[in-house]
Every structure is written in structure tokens, then in C-alpha cells.
Amino acid sequence: MSDLTRLPASVLREQIAAKKVSPVELTDAVLARADALQPVLNCFVTLVPEQARAAARAAEDAVMKGQPLGLLHGIPFAAKDLVNTKGVRTTFGSLHHEDNVPREDAVSAARVKAAGGILFGKTTTPEFGHKSLTDAPLFGRTRNAWSAARTSGGSSGGAAVAVAAGIGPIGIATDGGGSTRIPAAANGMVGLKQSNGVIPHSQVADAFGNYTYVTPMTRTVMDTALMLQAMAGPHPSDPWSIGVQPQDYLAAAHPEGDLAGRRILYSATLGNTLVARDVRAAFEAALGRLRALGAELVELDGALPDMEPIWKVINHTTWRARFDELVRRPDNRLSSSLVRQVKMAADWSGADYQKAMFQRTNLFRKMQDWFETADYLVTPTLSRTALPIDQDLFDPIDIDGVEAGELRANWFPYTMPFNITGHPALSLCCGYDREGLPIGLQIVGRFRDEASVLRAAALYEASESWLDRWPDL
């Protein structure tokens, strides 16, 4: 059973179609592993074994009858508990929504199901996905798959840990400032934040000013391509998606050829001040791999503006609009860290918000200028590996024994810019630190050219052996 849960979705779908693997047997193995590891990792808010087994029986029946099979037929998946799932409790990590049961699926979840995916559970998130550490009053802390003493990252911590631990091969996550790429890097997974509109976001309150994304979370680049192929395509609920047709992501994710003729901008800091020695060493080794694949590497000399204040004004004013009324209620039971950030936004005016949106436009145009002469931008995903499990959002972080400053600005300054600009950004493993914790490499590509990003990531993945390593659970 453990061998079965270690197979990627790309292999499982072929074996299911060939009647070598039973969807029922696979789902039973996934549920058994979830039951065994949930007390250790705490990566699920809800499990739905009866619903999953019923769907697995239907999937197996379709195989045996020779019916047409979808891209993810018979593949179990979990969805982050911010993503609506019809008839299955969706709490947003909040005590205020502890018993919420949506009447319909989010578009992303509906499409994974339509492709044959089998929902088996909802993964943990900090309340409303408001921070990069996965803990909430509703369920407690989610541990890193590689070390019980480290955070899973966030806000899609449960999604990353469930895949990293071999509980399920794929998961639906979300990313508002790095919330897919941060836990992907901290747990050695593949986390893609696609371009705005490529996967419709049917739940976002401000569709036109959107900077948040519903995303795949997988262990391999090909599995990310499978999920993206299943979820992508226009939908009337999301104006950014209208008219955006999917590329051939599956073809792009085959590691064929090389990167000859491709120009890669790179930056180890992207304006950051401190980068851990082990992260810098792994990043430099990854650059060597990309150079060996034939790419031309050019160090980035154009400085970015300080992204954290821009992102914070846009993000926190959004939260104030959404949650201020709840904060003021006498029965408020929101996380103190969310309340604190909502209150921060009281100091900003509508003009402040609009100025941040002007800066967002300027940043997008700067990126567009970079990609006039380059195919990719490559950075670390995080400045250091997973933080201690008890790290506070507002406390400074430590990098190689040096106090580096506040967490958000100093741990993941690499991820926030691309939520703001909308360019595709993918994190995948590029090594491990001296304590055996994963290190992430971020590959950023041209706007709405996910296929190119997947191709570079697949070639890099094939040049390494990191997929052979699993956490010792």
C-alpha cells in the first residue's frame, strides 16, 4: 500500500486505464495513510472516506465498462479548506465557519472532479489563508513533513504536507502572496502559481483587482501539468479567464530537449538582505544545472521596489473590507494575527490603496520589459528552509544565527511580486540543507506562458535526483 501511495498521478492514471491499479484499492490506501499520519502531521480539517469510496467504486465501474476516462480518472485529491466543495464541510480555517457546507463546488474543484478526481478530504489552512504559517484556533498547527520541529509553511501548508507525506498524489491549493510556493518549498514539492485567469477563481470577492490564485499542489512537474490541464480554461465567473484558452501543458512537461537559446535572468536576493548559506549554495548549483542544459544566464541588475509595503496595502485593505465587521462583533473569534492585520489597514485611505495599484501596474510593466529580452527569471523561493514550528508571524526570523527582521519581508520576498504582476511562478526542490530540510527554486516566466515554465521545470527536475528522497515518517 505504501508503494501505491508513492506513485505520481501521471503513472497512476495510466495504470488505472490499463486495469493494473484499482481506484478502490488506491483510495483505500490513501485513506489508510491519512488515518495513520493525521495524528502526527495534522494536515486535514475534514476527511470524507464514505464519499471517496463511493466515488472510487463508480470510477472503477467506468474503467471495467470501457467508458471514456478523464485526465485524473480514479485519482484521489484533497482540496485546501478555502476551496468550496459541494456537500463537504469547508471552514476556511475559522471557528465562525466550523459547520459551513457549500451548496456547490468552486470551479477548480468541479473541474478536477469532472476529470475523474476523487475528493477524499480538506487540507488545513490558517484562517482565511491570512499567513505563511499553517495554524488556526479551529485545528491547531500543521507540522512539516520533514521535521516535526518545523512549520509546514502556509497558507497551503496542509496541501503541501499531504502530498509530501505520500497521503495523496495531488491537491488543490491557493496562493495570495506565495501561499502555494512557500509550503511547496518548505516541503520539497512542486507549487505553481499560474498567471491571472488561467485557472478561473470563482470565489474571489474582487475579481477585477484579483491577486489570489487557485493552484495545483503536486510532487512532480508532470502532475502539476495534469492538474493545470484539468483546471484551466475560461469561465464566466472570472473576467480574467474569459478568452484564455489552455496551452498543451502535458506536452510541455515532458523533459525533452534542452534550454539552448534560452536566456535566464537570475537573482539570489531579489532585493533581499540575508540568504542562508545552504540556500545560496543550492541555488548556485541549480544555476549550474540550468547552464549545463544550454541556457544563457544573466544576473539581474534591475532592482525591484520594496514589494512588501505594496502588497500589504492591497492585501490588508482587502481583508479590512471583508472582515472588519466581523472583527467588531462581540462574538468575534478570529485569529489574533488576522485581527491585528485587519486593524493595520485602518491607517490607509482609498488614495493609498489606489497608489498601491498604480505601483502594481508599474511593476507589471517592469516585468514585461525584463521578459522582452529574457525567457525566465530564476530565484530561490525562500531565504531559508522551514522555520521553527512555534515561529510567530510578527517576530523576526533567524538566518544562519543572524536576526533577519520581520518574517514576511525577509522569508519570502521572492514570491509576492508575482501575485501582484500575475506572471507564472513555479517552485520545485533544488536540494536540502545540512539538517535535511528541502530548499526551493522558483522559475518565473512570461505572462500566460505556463507551458514554457513547465518545460524548464521538467528539464531541471529530470537533471536532479531529488524525487528519490522521501521524508522519514
Q: Would residue 132 show up in a list of annotated catalytic residues for this protein? A: no
Q: Would residue 10 show up in a list of annotated catalytic residues for this protein? A: no
Q: Is the dihedral of CA 322, 306, 448, 378 positive or negative?
A: negative
Question: Active site residue: 10, 147, 179, 335, which one?
Answer: 179
Question: Active site residue: 10, 22, 80, 452, which one?
Answer: 80
In which residue are the cell numbers 514539492 written? 189
Question: Active site residue: 22, 108, 132, 155, which one?
Answer: 155
Q: Would residue 383 show up in a list of annotated catalytic residues for this protein? A: no
State the catalytic residues: 80, 155, 179
